[in-house]
Amino acid sequence: QKEVEQNSGPLSVPEGAIASLNCTYSDRVSQSFFWYRQYSGKSPELIMSIYSNGDKEDGRFTAQLNKASQYVSLLIRDSQPSDSATYLCAVNKAGRRALTFGSGTRLQVQP
Amino acid sequence: SAVISQKPSRDICQRGTSLTIQCQVDSQVTMMFWYRQQPGQSLTLIATANQGSEATYESGFVIDKFPISRPNLTFSTLTVSNMSPEDSSIYLCSVDKRMASTDTQYFGPGTRLTVL
């Protein structure tokens, strides 16, 4: 079992719709959770971080964390073609500063 | 956030040679990390570099192949030694910054390496 799992996609949504990206992790001691966006040929860019159960909203982005289910998600409202990218879920374990990444979900927003 | 630069941005190298990648940060940071992203894959941690101590390597990565220097709190280098085509990847450095009481990692622009 991979430590961090994501559906590789592509996830295709029409412009203006809500895109829902999901991630599960295997290690219960994981403490911090991050979503990065990576455009083709570019380095990862931090979108959201979340540390506590529940929802965290930032503009069009909402991160959701459920530690009991070991599940973290990212919702993108009013999706735009510029949101088309690969979204990487990353997890930070207790006592360890380095991140473990999922394989990423490719999102395509259709105009 | 943090402003991170890497040199070179890309290179094409011959099998058996070595390449040193530089990473410069605009502020002092305790920890720097080196990741590899092979074509179509996600990021894999190579090693963690602390200033003044030996780098800590992840399983599958060894110092002889990927020597790392960390001479001060704003700079690190990663050398890819005795390269083979399997080393063709993007190499990324990242830093850990404390923002609003939480630790967050920021990435440099990456070095795209092609080994022929």
The pLDDT, as a whole number, for residue B54 is: 86
CA distance B78 to B81: 9
Q: What is the pLDDT of residues A70-101, one digit of tens each?
A: 999 999 999 999 999 999 999 987 677 889 99
Residue of B nearest to A90 (CA): B43
Contact at 8 Å (CB) between A27 and A93?
A: yes
The pLDDT, as a whole number, for residue B105 is: 87
* N-terminal to C-terminal alpha carbon distance within chain A: 36
Q: What angle do CA B82, B87, B92 make, to 5 degrees?
A: 110
- pLDDT tens digit at each of 111 positions of chain A: 778 999 988 999 999 999 999 999 998 888 899 999 999 989 999 999 999 999 999 999 999 999 999 999 999 999 999 999 999 999 987 677 889 999 999 999 999
Residue of B nearest to A46 (CA): B106
To the nearest whole Å, the CA of A48 is away from the closest chain B CA by 10
Q: Which of B42, B109, B110 sits opposite A102 (nearest CB)?
A: B42
Tokens 């909203």 belong to residue: A57
Contact A43 B31 (CB under 8 A): no
The pLDDT, as a whole number, for residue B99 is: 65
Reading the block at residue A80, the tokens are 């735009």
To the nearest whole Å, the CA of A9 is away from the closest chain B CA by 13
Q: How many residues does chain A have?
A: 111
Contact A32 B103 (CB under 8 A): yes
pLDDT band at B101 (very low <50, low <70, confident <90, very high): low
Q: Classify each residue of B88-103 as buried b or exposed e, where b means 16 or more C-beta atoms within 10 Å of its C-beta.
A: bbbbbbbbbbeeeeee
With beta carbons under 8 A apart, name residues in chain B contacting A100: 45
DSSP conformation class of A18: P
Q: What is the DSSP string of B39-63?
A: TT--EEEEEEEETTS--EEPTT--T
Tell me the mean pLDDT in the region B25-46.
Answer: 92
The pLDDT, as a whole number, for residue B100 is: 62
Residues 32-61 of B with CB under 8 A from A: 33, 41-45, 48
Contact A43 B102 (CB under 8 A): no
